[in-house]
Amino acid sequence: MPAKILAIAAHPGDALFTMGATVAQHIHNGGSGAFLSLSLGEKGHRTIAPKEYGEMQRAAAEKAAKHLGAEALFLTYPDGEIPANDEANFAVCDIIRREKPGIIVTHWSGSWHKDHQNTFLIVRDAIFYAGLAAMPRTLPAHDVRKLFFADNWEDATNYQPDMFLDTTPVYEKWAEACAMFPMWRGETGLIRYNDYYQSLAVMRGALAGFRYAIALMSDPNQRTTRVKSLE
């Protein structure tokens, strides 16, 4: 049976828009999946108060995850103030040990967004702590086998994708899940996320030879090939 996949994002929109198709395809292939948002992204609307918008974000994330057959998990760090410290590292470590994912997808470090940068750092350290048997926690250690970084317009600096995943079978379901967010529909006054990410799926698919696809960047440490001969 395929391993569980865990998407760890700074905000619910990042989780579904940039990692949702990956999770959906993994579930389609027989695996299980979950989304972990470190913040509700409650400050992302220009006219709706943060508390109200945060609850809207939580509800949309739960509904969207369910639509894809996944779980929605949350930590409640303030939007724009996700801390890169051991308190956050251990909070995510404990979730990794509890959920036991074989695969994690998260933010790439080359971002102008502070929350995204810190999420990258948190996930890096949380994976290390989660797999360290000598690190005493409530639950036993768990090793994450694979780490990938999502294709996010806010995290584009030095992003070098090395994998294309065919998401054609889940494209419509993923788009339906994303449409549950006001941000996706353009109601926040930011960029047209629906046009951008749906067009990106077409473009990546054209490059990969699929109808729709997403790009992923592997953790450089897992690209190393170990052989005894070149023949």
| Residues 6+ away with beta carbon under 8 Å from 184 | 13, 16, 17, 178, 193, 194
Considering Cα of 109, then 114, then 119, then 124, what sign does the dihedral take?
A: positive
What value does the mean pLDDT take over residues 110-117? 97
Q: Assess contact for 31 and 2: CB atoms under 8 A.
A: yes
CATH class of 5-220: alpha beta
pLDDT band with cut points at 50, 70 and 90 for residue 185:
confident
pLDDT band with cut points at 50, 70 and 90 for residue 189:
low
Q: Assess contact for 53 and 44: CB atoms under 8 A.
A: yes
Flag whether pLDDT at 216 surpasses 80. yes
In whole numbers, what is the pLDDT of the chain averaged over residues? 94
What value does the mean pLDDT take over residues 164-169? 98
The CA angle 73-77-83, to the nearest 5 degrees, is: 120
Give the pLDDT confidence of 142-159 residue by residue, as tens digits: 999 999 999 999 999 999
Measured CA to CA, the distance from residue 32 to residue 164 in angstroms comes to: 20
- Give the least confident one: 67-81, 163-177, 178-192: 178-192
pLDDT of residue 229: 67
pLDDT band with cut points at 50, 70 and 90 for residue 9:
very high
Flag whether pLDDT at 187 surpasses 90. no
pLDDT of residue 53: 93
Give the pLDDT confidence of 78-108 residue by residue, as tens digits: 999 999 999 999 999 999 999 999 999 999 9
